[in-house]
Structure 1
Amino acid sequence: MSIVPDNARRDAHHLYRAMREFLESMDDTLPGKFEITREGIVHDMMAPVGPHELATLHLRRRLEKVMPEELVAHTGTPDVEAESEGIMRHPDVMVIAMADMDVPGSIDGRTLIAAIEVVSRSNPENDWVGKTRDYPCLGIPIYAIFDPRTATGAVLSDIHPTPSGPRYATRKDFLYGEDVTIADWTISTVGLPRYGDTPTDSTATDPSS
């Protein structure tokens, strides 16, 4: 019996741990967000303020207005991780039960109700391609993408097996200005900040936040 697959898995595990330890050793000394995929470390140079963070705040507030109190739209740490898959991601917003956050270390993606990303201006492929591939592998049942570059987005759901691994089977595209349903809750996209907008422009017509 060949032992190559076991060796390959062991090598992949060691590589993942090395990348994980490298990110921990930096201890927030570099700007931006660092994540791990099967292809290596992804560095997203997000601006700390501006339309990206404003959009994240709007989405968090709108969701928490319609969700039951035991659920949160969480925007902080920790990461969502599946070491067996060699993936560590950090969604902009995690929709999750508060009780499921009471765990040591990283969060199991299968406990999330949804993950939400506001597309980065510096690395949009990370949100539209990389996370569309990685989030079903983490077991995250719903992935919602909001793109301030184009005022468009999509909600992906229904994980199913494929020869390339788990993938989302259903995609519902939307335009800013339309209502969007994420899991059991519908929110407005009116007034969400776009890249190039000022804070005044992005909130003046928004009746819900």
Structure 2
Amino acid sequence: MRNFVLSLDDTLPGKFEITKEGTVHDPRAPVAPHELTTLRQRRCLERVMPEDVVAHAGVPDVEDAIQGVMRHPDIIVIREPDMEGDGSFDPRTLIAAIEVVSRSNPDNDWVGKMRDYPLLGVPVYAVFDPRTGTGAVLSEIHSTPDGPRYATRKDFVYGEDVTIAEWTIPTDALPRYP
């Protein structure tokens, strides 16, 4: 599945990911509010984080081959030394994964990634939803009969400060989808 998804990256528009449920394809390129939200979050985080921790937006993906899951967070919070090497990032090295909800496929962020990130061992998952001006920060992975899940969820509305891992950032300058 991984080789198939990687072979499509340069041939079809959009983003492909491998989940526990199969393949996800978001055919649309991110819109301006999505990209602006990502940029502003990265800048706010990097102002408050130590120098060896980065808020990275870009490639490569985050993958656990044993679980058969390959995801592409909008932003990952990771120590710079953990970015060294070839191939996908090890999800167990992430401090947090941050997603800006896609207008074209919101369930990917609110359902699929909420299921897959604890499975991958990502300790904190933050979701920002420009459709509604709300979001949530999920943490504290625990076991359930359906697999690992986040035990703690802190909802927020745009305009409130939000804490991701150990860093607090404002949300008042985040755009909404028209």
Identity across matched positions, percent: 72
Relative to the length of structure 1, the TM-score reads: 0.83
Relative to the length of structure 2, the TM-score reads: 0.97
Q: Deviations over 1:73-127 (max 9, x none)?
A: 0001111111111110000000000000002211111100000000000000000
Aligned ranges 1:179-190 → 2 under 5 Å: 179-190=161-172
Q: Deviations over 1:121-140 (max 9, x none)?
A: 00000000000000001100
Q: Match for residue 93 of structure 1?
A: 75
Q: For the aligned residues, what is the CA RMSD?
A: 1.0
Give the SS at the match of 2:87: coil
Q: Match for residue 160 of structure 2?
A: 178
Gaps of 5+ in 1: 1-18, 197-209
Q: 1:71 and 1:145 mapped to 2: Cα distance?
A: 20
1:148 to 130, 151, 154: 130
Give the SS at the match of 2:86: coil
Aligned ranges 1:109-124 → 2 under 5 Å: 109-124=91-106
Gaps of 5+ in 2: none
Runs of 4+ with >6 A deviation: none
Q: 2:66 and 2:27 mapped to 1: Cα distance?
A: 27
Q: CA deviation at 1:160?
A: 0.5
Q: Match for residue 23 of structure 1?
A: 5
Higher deviation after alignment, 74-83 or 21-30: 21-30
Tell me how many residue pairs correspond in the alignment: 178
Asked which structure has the greater CA Rg, the reply is 1
Q: Match for residue 57 of structure 1?
A: 39
Structure number with higher strand proportion: 2
Structure number with higher helix proportion: 1
